[in-house]
């Protein structure tokens, strides 16, 4: 049976006979034998095999072995005399599945820039950094499900095709319903292609929250974890047009409960990832950002800072830093302000609450002062906002007023209002931008490098 290289590196014992399959990272040919490092994607380090010239077919086979080739090696584990590795594999047989011409294979053994790797998106997962990112991404996804499942939350599947704009921000991609290039359509249909989902206006979802609220009103505690879409043409290192969001929603819960859950949630994910991907996290700390492990430790062991928006504005006004964007009560916090608060002032994850009603979505619960809402954003050093959440407006009359005040059509939200007509309860939830979390955990500076197939302006290759 083929063994995973990560298991052999961690637990393999001398004298065990094993078979491995993977891709060659390096080959070093000596006079009478060759060192071949094989990686199967299960760990950052490959397993070094020593292939002696007495291995059957050595002369012809070793010529075909080069960086990127796919191979199978069977043999016996032995203690390694080399530094930095406990064991190595003494090959008894070697098979090449597919060669990789060294003249043309783009991933030679050297550091490539992330920009270059984005141009070869179909090969970049074979590099140390990207493969480590995607293993951390996998571990964080597992942690998310485990966290909620342990607490009795139901994972609900909310739709991708949606008829309502949850955020009311007009950042939705229209679903055209059919391929205008392939299906014969009339001129009228072409003129109004936005109505082509069987006669209705539909969009790709910007958030599963409103549907999650429906489900929370039946199951108490639920969460979504799926792709969401934003048609914002912002070409930054923190925005994607398609990103994954995790959205818990809890009935009988207020903003304090929401913040407590978010804090426990983030601590849990960091702990889980440190335990399941120690080598990858060590790699990020050494090669990408030397504060990765310290940051993880800080998050796991310290309480997050909590301030109101009004207090945050006062802190920004008092700071000696010059900001590009104005700081003024009533204006939204820009990424530079968010980063200042988390990175320089509090030096930890920072929860900002009670934003002005005017700059937040219609569904957030209005405070008694009528000026602010029960919103909370969680800000991370180097990234800015990673979580946006709130206590929801559960009072029918106030909600109706807020929908109208934001210029939205009451009739379109009839079902959402029904939730307030029938068995309404205080409830709250939040949305975690999954890629921003992975960026924060790994220290990767561009969001395009923490998702296997980024969808952002300029880079749809596949
Ligand atoms: O703050 P947002 O817009 O909140 C919502 O969508 C709420 N309905 C969530 C809820 O309460 N259930 O988005 C939530 C998070 C942000 O904090 C950010 O981390 C991420 O989603 N996000 C993006 N990530 C990558 N690219 C983009 N274009 C993003 N827009 C938002
Ligand atoms: Mg937000």
Average pLDDT over residues 44-57: 97
Give the max Cα distance, the chain: 84
Judge if the beta carbon of residue 388 lies within 6 A of ligand 1: yes
Cα of 21 vs centre of ligand 1, distance in Å, is 40
For residue 433 and ligand 1, the question of a CB distance below 6 A is answered with yes
- Residue owning tokens 């990272």: 25
Question: Would you place residue 148 in the very low, low, confident or very high pLDDT band (cuts 50, 70, 90)?
Answer: very high
Question: Looking at ligand 1, which residue's alpha carbon is closest to its atom 4?
Answer: 388
The structural domains of the chain, ordered by start, are 5-108 (2.40.50.140), 126-171+206-449 (3.30.930.10)
Distance CA 42, CA 52 (A): 26
Q: How far apart are CA 351 and CA 265, in angstroms?
A: 14
CA of 12 to the centre of ligand 1 (A): 43
Q: Which atom of ligand 1 is nearest to the CA of 432?
A: 15
pLDDT at 88 over 90: yes
Q: Is 312 helix (H, G, I), strand (E, B) or coil?
A: helix
Convert the pLDDT of each residue in 409-441 to its tens digit.
999 899 999 999 999 999 999 999 999 999 999
List, in sequence order, every residue forming a beta bridge with 384; answer none if it has no partner. Answer: 380
What's the pLDDT at 84?
A: 85
Mean pLDDT, rounded, of the chain: 94
Q: What is the CA radius of gyration of the chain?
A: 26
Q: Which atom of ligand 1 is nearest to the CA of 390?
A: 11
Using CA atoms, how far apart are residues 397 and 399, in angstroms rounded to an integer?
A: 5
Distance 361 CA to ligand 1 centre (A): 12
Q: 412-424 burial, b if ≥16 CB within 10 A, otherwise e?
A: ebeebbebbeeeb
Looking at the chain, the whole-number percentage of residues with pLDDT higher than 70 is: 95
- Helix (H/G/I), strand (E/B), else coil: 372: strand
| 202, 183 Cβ separation under 8 angstroms | no
- Quick one: pLDDT at residue 181? 64
Measured in Å, residue 245 CA sits from the centre of ligand 1 at 7
pLDDT in tens, 116-130: 999 999 999 999 999
CB of 247 shorter than 6 A to ligand 1: yes
pLDDT digits (tens, 9 = 90+) for 129-140: 999 999 999 999
Instruction: Compute the distance between CA of residue 460 and CA of residue 333 in angstroms, rounded to an integer.
Output: 30
User: Percent helix, strand, coil in the chain (nearest 5)?
Assistant: 35, 25, 40
Kindly report the protein residue whose alpha carbon is nearest to atom 6 of ligand 1: 207
pLDDT of residue 433: 98
Nearest partner of 403 among 427, 420, 424, judged by Cα: 420
Regarding the beta carbon of 240 and ligand 1, being less than 6 Å apart is answered yes
């Amino acid at each position: 049976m083929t063994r995973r290289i990560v298991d052999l590196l961690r637990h393999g014992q001398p004298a065990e006979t094993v078979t491995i399959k993977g891709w060659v990272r390096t080959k070093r040919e000596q006079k009478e034998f060759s060192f071949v490092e094989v990686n199967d994607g299960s760990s950052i380090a490959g397993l070094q095999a020593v292939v002696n010239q007495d291995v059957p077919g050595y002369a012809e086979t070793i010529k075909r072995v080069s960086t990127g080739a796919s191979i199978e090696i069977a043999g016996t584990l032995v203690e390694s005399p080399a530094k930095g590795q406990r064991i190595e594999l003494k090959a008894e047989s070697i098979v090449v599945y597919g060669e990789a011409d060294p003249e043309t294979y783009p991933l030679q053994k050297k550091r490539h820039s992330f920009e270059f790797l984005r141009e070869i998106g179909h090969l970049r997962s074979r590099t140390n950094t990207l493969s480590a990112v995607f293993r951390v991404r996998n571990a964080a996804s597992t942690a998310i499900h485990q966290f909620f499942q342990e607490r009795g939350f139901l994972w609900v599947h909310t739709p991708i095709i949606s008829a309502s704009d949850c955020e009311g921000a007009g950042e939705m991609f229209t679903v055209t319903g059919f391929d205008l290039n392939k299906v014969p359509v009339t001129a009228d249909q072409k003129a109004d292609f936005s109505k082509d989902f069987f006669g209705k206006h539909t969009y790709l979802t910007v958030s599963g929250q409103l549907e999650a609220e429906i489900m929370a009103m039946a199951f108490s505690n639920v969460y979504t974890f799926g792709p969401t879409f934003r048609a914002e043409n912002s070409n930054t290192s923190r925005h994607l047009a398609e990103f994954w969001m995790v959205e818990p929603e809890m009935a009988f819960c207020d903003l304090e409960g929401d913040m407590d859950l978010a804090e426990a949630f983030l601590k849990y994910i960091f702990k889980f990832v440190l335990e399941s991907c120690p080598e990858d996290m060590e790699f990020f700390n050494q090669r990408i950002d030397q504060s990765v492990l310290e940051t993880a430790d800080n998050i796991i062991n310290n309480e997050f800072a909590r301030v109101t928006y009004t207090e945050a504005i006062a802190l920004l006004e008092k700071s000696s830093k010059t900001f590009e964007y104005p700081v003024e009560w009533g204006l939204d916090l820009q990424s530079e302000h968010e980063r200042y608060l988390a990175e320089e002032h509090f030096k930890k994850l920072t929860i900002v609450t009670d934003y002005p009603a005017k700059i937040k979505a219609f569904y957030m619960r209005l405070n008694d002062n009528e000026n602010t809402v029960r919103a909370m954003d969680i800000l991370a050093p180097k990234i800015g906002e990673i979580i946006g959440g709130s206590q929801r407006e559960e009072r029918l009359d106030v909600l109706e007023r807020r929908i109208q005040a934001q210029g939205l059509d009451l009739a379109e939200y009839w079902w959402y209002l029904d939730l307030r007509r029938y068995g309404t309860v205080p409830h709250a939830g939040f949305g975690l931008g999954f890629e921003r979390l992975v960026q924060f955990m790994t220290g990767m500076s561009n969001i395009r490098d923490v998702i296997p197939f980024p969808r952002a302006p300029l880079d749809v290759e596949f």
